[in-house]
Amino acid sequence: MPHITIQHFPVDLAPDQRQRLADTLTAIVVDSFGTYEGAVSIALEPVEPGDWAGTVYEPRIAARPDLLIKAPEYRS
């Protein structure tokens, strides 16, 4: 505890970008939840744009607004 899953459109992150993302998120989670670095896990889950609505938006965002701490503001 805690575990973060980032669902995103496919993008190639260089190893240093992945590490910087992991370090930044870990530091924020440790501070916010009062835990330690070793308790934090982070996963990256690419989702194809055509699958986004059915795989992510509808079941994980629209259906559970009470869990969001920031709602999306998609651009047209």
Q: Which residues are catalytic?
A: 2
Report the DSSP beta bridge partners of residue 4.
Answer: 42
> What DSSP assignment string belongs to 13-42?
--HHHHHHHHHHHHHHHHHHHT--GGG-EE
